[in-house]
Structure 1
Amino acid sequence: MTQPLWWEGASAASPAAGPSSPDVPRKADVVVVGGGFTGLWTAHYLLLADPSLDVVVLEAEHIGFGASGRNGGWVSALWPVGPQTLERRGGRAAAHAMLAELRHTVDEVGRATESAAIDCGFRKGGSLVLARSRAQVARARAEVADAEQWGTATRWLDAAEATQRMAASRVLGATFTPHCARVHPRRLVDGLAATVRSQGAQVLEGVRVSAIEPGRVTLAGGGQVQASHVIRATEAWTPTLPGTRRLIAPVYSLVVATEPLTASQWESVGLAEGEVFSDHRHVIIYGQRTADGRLAFGGRGAPYHYRSRIKPEFDHEPTVFADLRATLTDLLPQIEGVRFTHAWGGPLGIARDWHPSVGHDPSTGLGWAGGYVGDGVAAANLAGRTLADLVTGRHTPLTELPWVGHRSRRWEPEPLRWTGINAGLRLAHAADLEEARTGRPARLGRVLTALTGH
């Protein structure tokens, strides 16, 4: 199937986005643009902080239409930039505080979903990142050494320990961190929307916003909604709004899923604790054992599209899907012959310096969050809690974290943006090929770091 596995049995086909509806209010205290994790967590925590607020969430398609309903289901403490980058920008104490809060956020998602009785298959089994070549072992060992000074609890597993968790091929070892859970993302986003509605917010689908300005949003079909605070939670779709084309680059990630495996097949694979998994290659891959016993497996590799275009047909890249199926079967030869039933994709948002950000300007009432580089399932929860504090004017440890108020430089104009992003993707592939050939860390990896600037 070409729609996400996660959408099976979900509420929703998209309402047709069209002219302003009489159901859209003319005024609210807070208007949140975007009905994914960021927008819904923001509404949720705002109403926990002040139930009297009139909060409206506007979604152009259906709840969870974007990355929130398509992702690989990792609730992780991962962050796209390293601790050293956080330290350079905010100091060592701030970097430690950020990393600690990310670890706490994984547990907060679990706590919040349990409190709201959202059945999303949350299971905190940790993340297992395999090392399957000498070059990957070198990177993995360096990560473990770095983790010791930052308290991230990432540890090295030897080949036997790693294989006991996941019986993959050619395993030389792995890194493991307990600070990661898996979820069914669509059930989480739909359950969160129901919770927010029960708190009194209006969550309106099929309402497209054409502009965000201080004090108001303009609707694509005509009309406006006045608001004291307007929060942009549009992630990969940010470039569709006026004045924001170069803030975020939408880059596609694709996923495939198998049929449910039998008990004996799972015994041969492992992942008995619900671990999510990856390896230490340059081109990112990610997988999980789903709550209904499938393997869901994704990765980067699809091209960036000129002028940050987003189209439904870009969700499907047959060559990338074939590569993902082949990669998963290479990781787990014992699943040879298992049927792949689903293949889908969608864009995620990347800022020019790979640095997520959240912020709110009290002088204009404009707020934002995003640029998660694919790590947004947990980060969106942290963003929602932070925005709730910023909008209500509370000074808390969250509002002091180093990503608050961060401003990334803009992406280059086209065609430089298209050239640079796709060159980076090709370099990542080439670096993996070089390492497979030589067994040593790729020299191209240094070029990739220089090109991406992080």
Structure 2
Amino acid sequence: MSTATSTDLVNGNISFWFDALGGRPSPRPALAGDRTADVCIVGAGLTGLWTAYYLKKADPSLDITMVEREFAGFGASGRNGGWASGLIAGSRDRFATLHGADAVRAQQRSINEAVDELVAVAASEGIAADVVKGGTIRIASTPAQARRLRAGVEEDHHWGVHESRILERNELLDRIRIPEVVAAAYTPHCARIQPARYVRALADVVESLGVRIHESTTATRIERGSVHTDRGVVRAPMILRATEGYTASLAGERRTWLPMNSSMIVTEPLPQAVWEEIGWNRGETLGDKCYSHMYGQRTSDGRIAIGGRGIPYRFGSATDRDGATQQAAIRSLVEILHRRFPATRAHRVVHAWCGVLGVPRDWCSSAAFDARTGLGYAGGYVGQGVATTNLAGRTLRDLVLGRDTELTRLPWVGHASRKWELEPLRWLGVRSMYLAYGWADRKELRGGRESRLAKLADLVTRRP
């Protein structure tokens, strides 16, 4: 029986990362009626938790309340690929057009520093989340992909990431052995984590600082001075939205950020003989230069977890139910797993899941706070959220406290994207984009040239 359709494969149940912790956690108490606070944060994922953490560290007297529809880490924070990467969440060229090259280099330095900050906080706060700063390897399997890979390294150097480099063949084989790789690149600016462990431990730390986290509490509307929920109203002079891929569920936010789906699978623990064939012993994360993009890690207990877009968007900005993904997405990821790592064919894929990430119309993230209204937000991370949430938390801290710092002058601060199109146009647009990317990937793997159709899809959708 195929691993993709095996009856013992778990599909959903939030994510494998939560299953490894024993499953869905017991919820914290819900909001019990109306209350007041100095700061109310909507959403208890990494963005909200980091913001609460840094605000409380900076000013312990602040009364901070968080409201969360499910439980801390339910969304992308507990389902992602476990990459805390130094990748800007957005287009460096687009930010440079608006703010200049030096501003983008400052943003790049800041996101690289966020990777180290995330590692440092784990150490200082006792967050045991399998954190290893092993960097990222990106691979190319066709000449067209290799050209994009080399161009990406040149762009990194232009933006100040001089540590990014092409790997020689013997260096790659010493790190990881994958058939049909024609080129590879490496950057040290990435840490592997077990995301559910990290976000749940961070929630405990934040709670220990005196922040109130109300779970099972659905925010329905945010307005100046108040957050309306199904359990009561929180009134606060400062309100921060940290809802990322679930932003469309709030009143008036349906077209703000598109909830893009990304799916993952994970194998059973692989025997030592398989690892001797593959290598991959230094904690690197792994990506490729396909248009549809694969991302993966070797877990601390000897599994391979890989992800990709699958079916990227549900009509009407709908989201999944408890992480269940489509069978087509599972089959596609299993095919990628077996092509990249033939030694895994004899071993089971045991869990599949999906999550949503927030995508602005111009694919550029933002962080903002309006001192006049007391309203702020951060998000739109386009799949680069783990380290960016840490940068967001420190940036929102400075904005809320009225500080003029290097963080508050970064180009993503106050960045505004236009709304997404009405349905069915946004569904047709995103669906067409990924059909074009899939067609381009298949053409390249058959030996074809780089696809003009994929470039056109990038141009139309403004994907960087």
TM-score (norm 2): 0.94
Q: Which residue of 1 aligns with 2:75?
A: 66
Q: Which residue of 1 aligns with 2:167?
A: 157
Give, in angstroms, the shift of residue 434 of structure 1: 1.9
Q: Separation in 2 of the partners of 1:81 and 1:8?
A: 31
Q: Separation in 1 of the partners of 2:59 and 2:31?
A: 27
Between the two proteins, the alignment pairs up a number of residues equal to 451
Q: Which residue of 1 aligns with 2:180?
A: 170
Give, in angstroms, the shift of residue 443 of structure 1: 1.5
- Counterpart of 2:88 in 1: which secondary structure? coil
Q: Which residue of 2 aligns with 1:6?
A: 17
Give, in angstroms, the shift of residue 334 of structure 1: 1.7
Give, in angstroms, the shift of residue 131 of structure 1: 1.0
Give, in angstroms, the shift of residue 83 of structure 1: 2.5
* Residue 192 of structure 2 corresponds to residue 182 of structure 1: yes
* Residue 234 of structure 2 corresponds to residue 200 of structure 1: no
Q: Which residue of 2 aligns with 1:213?
A: 223
Give, in angstroms, the shift of residue 25 of structure 1: 5.6
- AA of the residue aligned to 1:361: D
For the 8 Å contact 2:41–2:67, the answer to whether it is kept is yes
Q: Separation in 1 of the partners of 2:258 and 2:153?
A: 31
- Most deviating of 43-52 and 336-345: 336-345
Q: Separation in 1 of the partners of 2:388 and 2:207?
A: 22
Q: Which residue of 2 aligns with 1:106?
A: 115
- Counterpart of 2:446 in 1: which secondary structure? helix
Name the CA shift for 1:236/1:293 in 2 (closer, same or farther; >3 Å). Answer: same
- Counting only pairs closer than 5 Å after superposition, residues 294-373 of structure 1 correspond to structure 2 as 294-312=303-321, 315-373=324-382
Q: Structure 2: which 5+ residue stretches go unaligned?
A: 1-9
After TM superposition, the runs of 4+ consecutive aligned structure 1 residues lying more than 6 A away are: 14-18
* Residue 446 of structure 2 corresponds to residue 431 of structure 1: no
For the 8 Å contact 1:252–1:315, the answer to whether it is kept is no
Q: Which residue of 1 aligns with 2:4?
A: none
Q: Which residue of 2 aligns with 1:117?
A: 126
Q: Which residue of 1 aligns with 2:45?
A: 36
- AA of the residue aligned to 1:298: G
- AA of the residue aligned to 1:10: L
Percent of residue pairs identical? 42
Q: Separation in 1 of the partners of 2:174 and 2:77?
A: 32
For the 8 Å contact 1:16–1:206, the answer to whether it is kept is yes
- Counting only pairs closer than 5 Å after superposition, residues 380-395 of structure 1 correspond to structure 2 as 380-395=389-404
Q: Structure 1: which 5+ residue stretches go unaligned?
A: none
Q: Give the RMSD, CA atoms, in angstroms.
A: 1.7
Q: Separation in 1 of the partners of 2:20 and 2:152?
A: 40
- Counting only pairs closer than 5 Å after superposition, residues 19-58 of structure 1 correspond to structure 2 as 21-22=31-32, 26-58=35-67
Map Cα deviations across residues 214-271 of structure 1 (whole Å, 9 max, x no partner).
11101124x3111011110011110111111000101110000011112222121111
Q: Separation in 1 of the partners of 2:383 and 2:438?
A: 18
- Counting only pairs closer than 5 Å after superposition, residues 181-260 of structure 1 correspond to structure 2 as 181-221=191-231, 223-260=232-269
Give, in angstroms, the shift of residue 147 of structure 1: 2.0
Q: Which residue of 2 aligns with 1:447?
A: 456
- Counting only pairs closer than 5 Å after superposition, residues 271-286 of structure 1 correspond to structure 2 as 271-286=280-295
Q: Separation in 1 of the partners of 2:456 and 2:430?
A: 13
Name the CA shift for 1:16/1:37 in 2 (closer, same or farther; >3 Å). Answer: closer
- Counterpart of 1:403 in 2: which secondary structure? coil
TM-score (norm 1): 0.96
Map Cα deviations across residues 360-413 of structure 1 (whole Å, 9 max, x no partner).
000011010111011101100100010011111111100000000001110011
- Most deviating of 334-343 and 354-363: 334-343
Give, in angstroms, the shift of residue 161 of structure 1: 2.2
Q: Separation in 2 of the partners of 1:262 and 1:94?
A: 47
Name the CA shift for 1:261/1:12 in 2 (closer, same or farther; >3 Å). Answer: closer
Give, in angstroms, the shift of residue 9 of structure 1: 4.7
Name the CA shift for 1:48/1:25 in 2 (closer, same or farther; >3 Å). Answer: farther
Q: Separation in 2 of the partners of 1:67 and 1:274?
A: 21
- AA of the residue aligned to 1:338: H
